[in-house]
Structure 1
Amino acid sequence: MALIITDECINCDVCEPECPNSAISQGEEIYVIDPKKCTECVGHYDIPQCVEVCPVDCIILNPDVVENKEQLRAKYESLIAKK
């Protein structure tokens, strides 16, 4: 699954620079995660870095984007191939 930021986000700015895929950006009111770029840090780290640094625990699994580890790995490989 990709991750999603809930409306509990306090716009603290710590998650965006931690994302190795540049999937996090400032939305209209809170930060948002692009599910096409989010690999839950598969390929980069063992755990999602945004979740690690979030002080309010507002980053959760996106129930609308269900992916297993193999799919996340394939997305990661596709993203690095475009670089």
Structure 2
Amino acid sequence: PASGNSQIDFSVGASSSVSIQLFDVTGRRIKTIFNNDVQAGKHTAEFSGLDKFADGSYFYKMEVKQNNKIVFSETKRLMIVK
């Protein structure tokens, strides 16, 4: 469960563009959590403002691009509980 502030840890094997978007249960994008170019290694996407959203299930989608090609895409559920 997440509340006001949270983080997502991830790692990439090569220099990449990483995007993490937050969606509600209807699939509407409601927040960009992370959108940066990163070097190979471990990283943390820290984000705040979740207390502005109602309690419940949300989804985040992480996409990793290398040379403008998506090399990894994953969607996971995120529970917001205050």
State the TM bucket, normalised to the shorter chain: 0.3 to 0.5
Greater strand fraction, Structure 1 or Structure 2: 2
The structure with the largest alpha-carbon Rg is 2
TM-score normalized by structure 2?
Answer: 0.34
TM-score normalized by structure 1?
Answer: 0.34
